[in-house]
Chain A
């Protein structure tokens, strides 16, 4: 018999429990198909598809209409940016401590002309600062995935362990990752691993929780298929559990990376060294306010790119299971 039955939670009350059609946290879904669908005469299905695809091909949108659609998609965000910069411009017109858009632009062009210079440990180009922040996030995040995803699987499969560990997670999850920083400094004795460690701490919770939830929500139907086929545990994990849980894992990863990028800036402000957070603090000490504003934009853009690329990855990987 398949080792699946070892968990013993098949719910004797409803042995062939129908697929619960719930979407994972965050959207993408692994629902089993709804039962009633338009059905053509099976023999004619192939022909039907062909004829059905013809009119679609013929009614290609004219170029003018396409440009219109493109304009409608781009114009509002563009307008939003213009308004933001306009307000910024007006607010800083009379001078004061906060530089206006033009000054900031000038500073940015100087800054980005040479993003990868090194003048000693505390004076490096903005490129190096971004890269070292990304590196910390990558390492902390990678470790969190390495620990969190398997742990989530275990918690999802074992009601006992889940009941045992869930209260601990609930207790620790609301704690700001920065509260862990002193412990990290104490344990690692150095600032760099301590910052990485805070990223680990803040990334791991969404990974554990989402993976566990995904495992718990694998439709009973799929598990019944596995049982009838008497698949080996390896096949169950690779052919059924992993694909079914993947959308949940990706949601966990996406939530984590957002928080990780938020936290790294704060952590680096406290630990120093090289990194975008430290750089912000350093420029504050130098009173180069235009650099701080540039940093805000840079942090925003990097965060946006991280999140969007993960959404893209998730869409690519889960396209098949939609």
Chain B
């Protein structure tokens, strides 16, 4: 087991830069990213569109490799994608030819199939689906359920793998406000219970303040980097209704808004 050192420096991102070769030449998406994430911490990446939030998430996932710098998980280099860093994709990415159960089972089987019997794997799958409250939709195909339910299956699939880090790329971005709020509450509960380490890309200020321990605010691209990091010291469990009138919550919210719309607004004006 890893010691206290690893708890504090669970994920380390060290002077990471990302350059893409495009037809118009080199495009610097990210530069000089330094970030350390504690075990059990919930971190939100926020910024204007095109600021490289998703690029950074993909780097942690290992779906892309950095041009410069290095990313570490538990002191080991992230050299490619793997099930210990589960990803909840923006548009759920369920396989349409499999039922919800089979979609989750595919992940469970991959992670635990070598050690556990079929019955146990099915138990795990059912438990993950139960966790997101979708028992009744287990045998349905993705096209038979709503967008919110699909995203919950996506979360169940990620959680079922018992990942070391849960990565979420605007998981609720495509949902309506009511469904989003409900899923945020569920996610908060799940993370409190499982003590998961989570990184979430979002462009929703309320979502970031409500869910996160720290909010990483990114400057505008190209060549985006971390602008400010805001520590959210609101006690857990958090409730959105009581927080709405909480002065601390309002201050945090204002700080993020200020960063996004005052400090980082000029590039948008230039682009317009």
Question: Do they bind each other?
Answer: yes
Binding site for B on A (CB under 8 A): 1-2, 5, 12-13, 15-16, 18-19, 30, 32-33, 35-43, 45-46, 221-222, 224-225, 227-231, 235, 239-240, 243-244, 320-322
Q: 8 A–B contact pairs at CB < 8 A?
A: A15-B63, A16-B169, A19-B93, A42-B152, A45-B136, A228-B86, A231-B110, A321-B96
Any A CB within 8 A of the CB of B142 = yes
Contacts of A40 in B (CB 8 A): 146
CA of A56 to CA of B209, assembled, Å: 45
Any A CB within 8 A of the CB of B116 = no
Contact check: which of B64, B169, B178 meets A41 at CB < 8 Å? B178
> Would B182 and A42 count as touching, CB distance under 8 A?
yes
Give B196 Cβ to nearest chain A Cβ, in Å.
16
B81-110 vs A: 1/0 string, CB under 8 Å?
A: 111011101111101111000000011001
Any A CB within 8 A of the CB of B143 = yes
> Would B97 and A12 count as touching, CB distance under 8 A?
no
Any A CB within 8 A of the CB of B22 = yes
Q: A1-B80, A239-B106, A322-B96 given as contacts; is B85 within 8 A of A228 (CB)?
A: yes
> Would A243 and B93 count as touching, CB distance under 8 A?
no
Q: A13-B21, A15-B63 given as contacts; is B147 within 8 A of A36 (CB)?
A: yes
Q: A12-B20, A13-B20, A320-B141 given as contacts; is B63 within 8 A of A224 (CB)?
A: yes
> Would B91 and A32 count as touching, CB distance under 8 A?
yes
Give A208 Cβ to nearest chain B Cβ, in Å.
23
CA of A229 to CA of B90, assembled, Å: 17
Any A CB within 8 A of the CB of B31 = no
* Nearest CB in chain B to that of A243: its residue: B97
* Nearest CB in chain B to that of A18: its residue: B91
Contact check: which of A1, A5, A37, A227 meets B147 at CB < 8 Å? A37
Give 10 closest A-B pairs by Cβ, nearest first: A35-B174, A1-B80, A37-B147, A243-B97, A221-B93, A321-B97, A227-B81, A15-B64, A39-B179, A39-B146
Do most interface residues of chain B lie in helix, strand or loop, or is the interface mixed? mixed
Q: How large is the interface on B (under 10, 10 to 19, 20 to 34, 35 or more residues)?
A: 35 or more
Question: Which residues of B, 104-139, contact A by the 8 Å Cβ criterion?
Answer: 106-107, 110-111, 133, 136-137
Q: A12-B64, A243-B95, A320-B96 given as contacts; is B147 within 8 A of A230 (CB)?
A: no
Any A CB within 8 A of the CB of B214 = no
> Would B148 and A39 count as touching, CB distance under 8 A?
yes
> Would A228 and B91 count as touching, CB distance under 8 A?
no
CA of A309 to CA of B212, assembled, Å: 56
Q: A16-B89, A224-B93 are in contact. List 15 more A-B contacts (CB 8 A).
A: A13-B27, A15-B63, A39-B147, A39-B175, A39-B176, A39-B179, A221-B93, A224-B63, A224-B81, A225-B93, A228-B82, A228-B86, A243-B97, A320-B96, A322-B143
* Nearest CB in chain B to that of A31: its residue: B96
> Would A228 and B143 count as touching, CB distance under 8 A?
no
Any A CB within 8 A of the CB of B54 = yes
> Would A33 and B110 count as touching, CB distance under 8 A?
no
* Nearest CB in chain B to that of A230: its residue: B82
CA of A263 to CA of B141, assembled, Å: 41
Contact check: which of A5, A18, A43, A230 meets B83 at CB < 8 Å? A230
Give B160 Cβ to nearest chain A Cβ, in Å.
11
> Would B80 and A240 count as touching, CB distance under 8 A?
no
Any A CB within 8 A of the CB of B58 = yes
Any A CB within 8 A of the CB of B164 = no
Any A CB within 8 A of the CB of B149 = yes
B18-52 vs A: 1/0 string, CB under 8 Å?
A: 00111000010000000000000000000000000
Contacts of B61 in A (CB 8 A): 228
CA of A221 to CA of B150, assembled, Å: 14
Give A46 Cβ to nearest chain B Cβ, in Å.
5
CA of A104 to CA of B147, assembled, Å: 60
Contact check: which of B111, B161, B178 meets A39 at CB < 8 Å? B178
> Would A33 and B85 count as touching, CB distance under 8 A?
no
Contact check: which of A5, A38, A243, A321 meets B146 at CB < 8 Å? A38
CA of A185 to CA of B8, assembled, Å: 77
Contacts of A222 in B (CB 8 A): 93, 95
Contact check: which of A12, A45, A221 meets B21 at CB < 8 Å? A12
